[in-house]
Amino acid sequence: MTKKNLQKGVLAGLLLVSLAACGGPKTMYNWGGYDYALLKHYKDGTASDELALSLKEIIEKIERKEDKVPPGLYADYAYALYDSGNVQEALVFFAKERDAWPESAPFMTSVIDRISGASS
Amino acid sequence: MIKKLIALSVLLALAACKTTQVDPYDYTSFRSMDPHSILVVPVMNSSNEAEAADFFLTTLPYALGERGYYVFPVNMVKRTMEADGLSDPTLVHEADPVRLGKLFDADSILLVEILKWESNYVILSSNITVSFRYTLKSAQSGETMWQNEQSFVHSQSGNSGNFIADLIATAVAGAINSMKSDYTPLARTANNFALYTAGRGIPSGPYALTYKDEKDLEAFPETGSGWIGGPKPEEVEAKTEETSTASE
């Protein structure tokens, strides 16, 4: 083991220890870069269809691992779809947010009713 | 090098788990409201950096979600509020929380004001400072449940020993930072301190494993003092007395 590797190992170990001191480094959700996708969207001023594309990849990645999708992600994806004109797919993901989080149910239901009422 | 790292990590561990707070906030009203969901409304920006509000907004779902709460989709909420003529954060922050909450069926509303979001370049070093005021209001009663202020400073100083090299390195770092003005890594740290510190943060939410467990109840106690952040009730009273005496 070289000295540099040793230092790296010690650093990683110490970081783990300091994180473990407060409940461990494990997060509740797999965020998959949801927050960074939003940041990029605001920073670069990209359009909603581009945001939808990156959120779609993030959701697929999390679902493939069978991890828990964080709150708000399905709905933010659905909204990006809706905003770029893909209403049918948006409805599917608003419903997913509603089913995953009971707290979102009244709001999601009213959004779904409004959109499907307007599009039919 | 290794000794330094050990010292640093011990400090980190201590800071991360500071469980004793001499004078904790009173969580009586927070516990009785027991919010399950948080609506994050547009961030008020009192810094000179126009983009800070949007940048900062993106750090909140992680912070609040990992604390155990349902967080309404921040981009969707922002865009729908803008479409409804609620794009001015100042107006939104002054609006009736009960009416706002009803639009989304939220339990509580988080209002954040950015006080500072800046970098200062001072010859040999550059400082980045972020500072926020967080206010959580009940969407049922409209009253404030919790308030906290958090600042975080990051200093970069050149110390290679070569004066000119340091000067250039610092200038370059300062220029890069001020061009992007993306200080979200510091904002994340500030959020963690604001939300997790015992006696100052918010209790674990319903999705957290620590929700209402013994440690959580101890860290965020119902003291009955009525102090939920900001000036203490007795200080406010004292001030009111002072002003009334002065006006006599």
Residues A21 and A42 in one domain: no
User: Per the CB < 8 Å rule, is B71 touching A7?
Assistant: no
Decide: B90 and B155 in contact? Cβ < 8 Å.
no
What number is the average pLDDT over the span B102-121?
A: 94
CATH architecture of B34-116+129-153+183-230: 3-Layer(aba) Sandwich (3.40)
pLDDT band (50, 70, 90) for residue A19: very low
User: Per the CB < 8 Å rule, is A107 touching B5?
Assistant: no
Residues spanned by the domain of A8: 1-28
User: Per the CB < 8 Å rule, is B73 touching A31?
Assistant: no
pLDDT value of residue B160: 62
Q: Higher pLDDT residue, A16 or B187?
A: B187
Residues of chain A contacting B68 with CB distance shorter than 8 Å: 28
Distance CA B137, CA B95 (A): 11
Residues A92 and A37 in one domain: yes
Please tell me if residue A18 touches chain B, with a CB cutoff of 8 Å.
yes
Among B137, B50, B132, B128, CA closest to B101: B137
Give CA angle at B154 (B148, B160), nearest 5°: 165
Decide: A21 and B17 in contact? Cβ < 8 Å.
yes
Closest residue on chain B to A78 (Cα): B76
Closest residue on chain B to A42 (Cα): B54
Backbone angles phi, psi at B157, to 5 degrees: -130, 140
pLDDT value of residue B221: 97
Whole-number mean pLDDT of chain B? 85
In total, chain A counts a number of residues equal to 120
Q: Return the H-helix or E-strand segment holding B61.
A: helix B60-66
Domain count, chain A: 2
Residues A69 and A115 in one domain: yes
Query: Does position B174 have pLDDT exceeding 70, yes or no?
Result: no
Query: Does position B14 have pLDDT exceeding 80, yes or no?
Result: no
A7, A21, A72 ranked by CB distance to B1: nearest: A7
pLDDT value of residue B237: 67
ipTM over 0.90: no
Query: Does position B200 have pLDDT exceeding 50, yes or no?
Result: yes
Residues A68 and A106 in one domain: yes
DSSP B41: P
User: Per the CB < 8 Å rule, is B210 touching A23?
Assistant: yes
Residues A72 and A38 in one domain: yes
> What residues 78-117 of chain B have any CB closer than 8 A to a CB of chain A?
79-80, 104-107
pLDDT tens-digit map of A22-71: 544 589 999 999 999 999 999 999 999 999 999 999 999 999 999 999 99
Residues A17 and A43 in one domain: no
Please tell me if residue A35 touches chain B, with a CB cutoff of 8 Å.
yes
Distance CA B131, CA B202 (A): 18
CATH of the domain at A95: 1.25.40
- Angle between the N-to-C axes of helices B74-83 and A73-83, in degrees from 0 to 180, rounded to the nearest 10: 40
Residues A47 and A64 in one domain: yes
| Helical H segments across A3-119, by residue range | 3-20, 34-44, 48-64, 73-83, 87-100, 105-119
Query: Does position A4 have pLDDT exceeding 80, yes or no?
Result: no
Residues of chain B contacting A70 with CB distance shorter than 8 Å: 61-62, 65
What number is the average pLDDT over the span B121-135?
A: 85
Please tell me if residue B167 touches chain A, with a CB cutoff of 8 Å.
no
3-class DSSP assignment, residue A33: coil
Please tell me if residue B72 touches chain A, with a CB cutoff of 8 Å.
yes
Residue B199, CA distances (Å) to A89, B69, B104 in order:
45, 18, 30
Residues A37 and A48 in one domain: yes
Please tell me if residue B184 touches chain A, with a CB cutoff of 8 Å.
yes
